[in-house]
């Protein structure tokens, strides 16, 4: 007969305490050892990769798609306003003359056949507005009116509508459609820093096209195209804004610092997602992790990239 001895009093509790100490020691070793280091390094690589991939994809592909969509929608709405004779004819809302036009409102269609440009011009010149197309400097009159009108456009990102304006030559003719009809311009010259500004006589109109000069995404200065109004000038309404009223983001090479907060918010979401996916990689198989990681990190990376581009100069 086998005799089973009863455990000594306190033996079980001693074993339990030993197991607890062993578990705590194992946890400390896990946190201090390679698994925790791998988690941190994996999350860091995912954050870096998601951000770089999102930025590259947004600048090269996403921004073009965004520009095309905004132009398509704005052209449809502006054409309807022209047909209904409700398109803007000045810096204020036609329905409420005391209210300034909202930033991004379509105000004109610029057609330059020599460089295959057919773009809706929007009100305002901040980086956010110029994502959707060329923008009219808000302290200048509409094209076709007396005085200097100035339109800014991007050189490379978001469709790069003004990428080829430096190829225009004196004598080239183009048109601009506004709520007051069609106006025609003739190019006088392409101007860079230090070049003489062509004088403007009384009762004349001038349109200046402005973008970044130099290689794509590496601006070396500003290039301007001066064009003389050759059709009859329309009357210019009172301009409620002066140059000093414009925000820094609306001026040449301005940046939108309002994008900093969204960058922090979307960046925080990217960090949390990367850490969560790195932890999931220790529980799931590799392919399961990447099936979830690619769309999640791709979306968050694109959102971060969209906001980061607003911190870049508005003419890029």
**Is pLDDT of 115 > 90?**
yes
Lowest mean pLDDT segment, chosen from 20-24, 67-71, 243-247: 20-24
Q: What is the pLDDT of residues 31-43, one digit of tens each?
A: 454 455 665 666 6
**Widest CA span in the chain:** 124
**Are the C-beta atoms of 205 and 147 separated by less than 8 Å?**
yes
Residue 80: how many CB atoms within 10 A of its CB? 11
Q: Is 85 left (phi over 0), alpha (psi -120 to 50) or beta?
A: left
Q: Are strands 135-136 and 117-123 parallel, antiparallel or unpaired?
A: parallel
* 3-class SS letters over 70-84: HHHHHHHHHHHHHHH
Query: Domains in the chain, please, with CATH?
Result: 89-248 (2.40.260.10)
Q: Are strands 181-191 and 173-178 parallel, antiparallel or unpaired?
A: antiparallel
Give the pLDDT band (50/70/90) at residue 309. Answer: confident
What confidence score (pLDDT) does residue 31 get?
Answer: 45
3-state secondary structure of 309: helix
- Cα angle 207, 210, 212 (rounded to 5 degrees) comes to 170
**Is pLDDT of 111 > 70?**
yes
**Are the C-beta atoms of 50 and 270 separated by less than 8 Å?**
yes
C-alpha distances in Å from residue 164, one per residue of 10, 35, 72, 190, 215: 87, 53, 21, 11, 12
Name every residue whose Cβ is closer than 8 Å to that of residue 311 and which is 6 or more positions away in sequence: 255, 256, 257, 259, 260, 263
Q: Copy the structure tokens of residue 106.
A: 């379509």
Give the pLDDT band (50/70/90) at residue 27. Answer: very low
Percent of the chain with pLDDT over 70: 83
Beta strands in the chain (DSSP E): 92-93, 96-100, 106-112, 117-123, 135-136, 147-152, 173-178, 181-191, 205-213, 221-229
CA–CA separation, 227 vs 210, rounded Å? 11
Closest by CA to 192, choosing from 176, 208, 174, 172, is 208
pTM confidence score: 0.80
* Strand partners for 209: 151, 225
The per-residue pLDDT of the chain, averaged, comes to 85
**Hey, CA dihedral for 32, 36, 37, 40, is it positive or negative?**
negative
Q: Copy the structure tokens of residue 169.
A: 């030559």
């Amino acid at each position: 007969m086998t005799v089973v001895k009863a455990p000594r009093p306190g033996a079980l509790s001693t074993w339990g305490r030993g197991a607890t100490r062993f578990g705590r020691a194992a946890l400390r070793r896990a946190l201090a050892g390679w698994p925790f280091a791998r988690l941190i390094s994996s999350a860091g690589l995912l954050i870096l990769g998601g951000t770089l991939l999102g930025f590259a994809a947004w600048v090269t592909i996403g921004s073009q798609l965004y520009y095309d969509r905004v132009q398509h929608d704005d052209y449809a709405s502006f054409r309807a306003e022209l047909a209904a004779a409700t398109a803007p004819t000045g810096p204020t809302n036609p329905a409420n003359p005391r209210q300034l036009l909202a930033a991004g409102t379509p105000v004109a269609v610029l057609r330059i056949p020599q460089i295959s440009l057919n773009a809706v011009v929007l009100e305002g010149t901040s980086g956010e507005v110029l994502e959707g197309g060329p923008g009219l400097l808000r302290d200048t009159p509409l094209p076709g009116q007396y005085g200097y009108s100035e339109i800014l456009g991007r050189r490379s990102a978001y469709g790069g509508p003004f990428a080829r304006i430096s190829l225009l030559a004196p004598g080239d003719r183009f048109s601009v459609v506004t709520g007051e009809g069609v106006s025609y311009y003739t190019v006088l010259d392409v101007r860079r820093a230090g070049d003489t500004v062509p004088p403007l006589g009384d009762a004349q109109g001038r349109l200046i096209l402005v973008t970044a000069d130099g290689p794509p995404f590496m601006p070396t200065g500003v290039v301007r195209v001066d064009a003389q109004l050759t059709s009859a000038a329309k009357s210019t309404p009172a301009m409620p804004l002066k140059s000093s009223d414009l925000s820094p983001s609306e001026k040449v090479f301005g940046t939108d610092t309002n994008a900093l907060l969204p960058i922090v918010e979307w960046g925080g979401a990217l960090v949390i997602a990367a850490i969560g996916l790195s932890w999931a990689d220790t529980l799931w198989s590799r392919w399961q992790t990447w099936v979830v990681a690619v769309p999640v990190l791709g979306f968050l990376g694109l959102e971060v990239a969209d906001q980061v581009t607003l911190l870049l100069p508005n003419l890029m």
